[in-house]
């Protein structure tokens, strides 16, 4: 008798069930096959192909330069590795703002060319037409409020958002508008924990926090930050599970020493 090894894929409905049952959702970023395979096998619920690839993979200062073609390349690599996780892909800057038809075309390209399961857009009421148009085509959408890095030049800094009454009120309205439009979850980035808790409680759909305290319905971190590959980045919300920058640098240094001293390869490491 053969036992089926088929794994059940996490869907947007699974995430809703998790919120309904009070089970926290775990999300991490990935941009390539090898990392996505480890994360998926570890049992993560959602893999985000974030436009943070612009910083982490390409070394840009902001997320603005990454293109739709580059996001599709990263997303395709991740999709090939993800057997169980839900794969969500960021629509990059300039591919959805202010033009809902363009937004739909961008989302369709991501879904068709990468095989991903959902897209994420930054913003609230100001992008609601794009959100609605994408949803109408049957493409699941994740929202993103609070610190929205694609608007960095409008904010001027990466500091905590919505500390003031007016911005906090706007964020609550944005969250409700996104839920009403039909998004399946909302990322809330770098906002006061009290506000994140209030928004999470007021919504039927799950919130996924990064720098939003522990009362959101899930958490997300940039993988390269949490395993310590990125350097000199120590925001308060970040828990580092490894310090790989130094570990890897040490390994590369040992390899260089071994090559230079002809210690590598040894007799056992040749044909």
Residues known to be catalytic: 189
Interaction mask 52-71, ligand KIV, x per CB under 6 A: x-------------------
Q: How far is CA 101 from CA 157, 196, 224, in A?
A: 31, 32, 34
Only one of the segments 16-24, 48-56, 67-75, 239-247 lies at the binding site for ligand KIV (rule: CB under 6 A); that segment is 48-56
Specify the residue, 159 or 261, whose C-beta has the smaller distance to ligand KIV: 159
Q: Cα 199 to the chain's mean position, in Å? A: 20
Which one among 210, 224, 228, 230 touches ligand KIV, defined by CB under 6 A? 210
Closest approach of Cβ 252 to ligand KIV, in Å? 26
Specify the residue, 64 or 135, whose C-beta has the smaller distance to ligand KIV: 64
Q: Residue 23's beta-bridge partner residues? A: none
Residue 267 CB burial class (10 angstroms; 0-12, 13-18, ≥19): exposed
Region of 75 (left: φ > 0; alpha: ψ -120 to 50; beta: rest) is alpha
Q: What are phi and psi of 209, to 5 degrees?
A: -100, 150
Question: Containing H/E element for 52?
Answer: none
Specify the residue, 50 or 128, whose C-beta has the smaller distance to ligand KIV: 50
How many residues at the interface with ligand KIV, by CB under 6 A?
11
Instruction: State whether the Cα torsion 11-197-27-142 is positive or negative.
Output: positive
Only one of the segments 38-46, 47-55, 65-73, 251-259 lies at the binding site for ligand KIV (rule: CB under 6 A); that segment is 47-55
Only one of the segments 44-52, 65-73, 101-109, 252-260 lies at the binding site for ligand KIV (rule: CB under 6 A); that segment is 44-52
Does the footprint of ligand KIV cover residue 45 (CB under 6 A)? no
CA distance 188 to 122: 10
Does the footprint of ligand KIV cover residue 51 (CB under 6 A)? yes
Specify the residue, 40 or 51, whose C-beta has the smaller distance to ligand KIV: 51
The residue among 172, 151, 176 whose CA lies nearest residue 162 is 172
Only one of the segments 49-57, 70-78, 158-166, 170-178 lies at the binding site for ligand KIV (rule: CB under 6 A); that segment is 49-57
Interaction mask 143-182, ligand KIV, x per CB under 6 A: ----------------------------------------
CA distance 224 to 56: 7
Q: With the CA atoms of 99, 186, 55 and 42 taken in that order, what torsion angle do they form, in degrees rounded to the nearest 10?
A: -140
Contact footprint for ligand KIV (CB under 6 A): 29, 48, 50-52, 90, 187, 189, 210, 220, 222
């Amino acid at each position: 008798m053969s036992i089926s090894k088929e794994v059940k894929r996490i869907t947007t409905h699974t995430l809703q069930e998790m919120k309904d049952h009070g089970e926290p959702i775990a999300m991490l970023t990935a941009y390539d096959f090898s990392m996505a395979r480890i994360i998926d096998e570890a049992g993560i619920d959602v893999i985000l192909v974030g436009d943070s690839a612009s910083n982490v993979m390409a070394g840009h200062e902001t997320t603005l330069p990454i293109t739709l073609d580059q996001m599709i390349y990263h997303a395709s690599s991740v999709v090939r590795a993800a057997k169980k996780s839900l794969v969500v892909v960021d629509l990059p800057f300039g591919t959805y703002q202010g033009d809902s038809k363009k937004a739909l075309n961008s989302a369709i390209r991501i879904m068709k060319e990468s095989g991903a399961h959902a897209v994420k857009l930054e913003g609230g009421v100001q992008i609601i037409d794009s959100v609605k148009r994408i949803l109408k085509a049957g493409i699941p959408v994740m929202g993103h409020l609070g610190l929205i890095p694609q608007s960095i030049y409008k904010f001027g800094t990466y500091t905590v958002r919505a500390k003031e009454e007016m911005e906090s009120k706007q964020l609550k309205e944005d969250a409700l508008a996104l839920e009403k439009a039909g998004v399946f979850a909302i990322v809330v980035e770098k906002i006061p924990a009290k506000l994140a808790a209030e928004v999470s409680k007021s919504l039927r759909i799950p919130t996924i926090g990064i720098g939003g305290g522990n009362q959101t319905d899930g958490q997300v971190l940039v993988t390269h930050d949490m395993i310590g590959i990125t350097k000199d980045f120590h925001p308060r919300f970040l828990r580092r599970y490894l310090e790989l920058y130094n570990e890897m640098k040490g390994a590369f240094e040992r390899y260089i020493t071994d090559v230079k001293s002809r210690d590598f390869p040894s007799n056992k490491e040749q044909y």
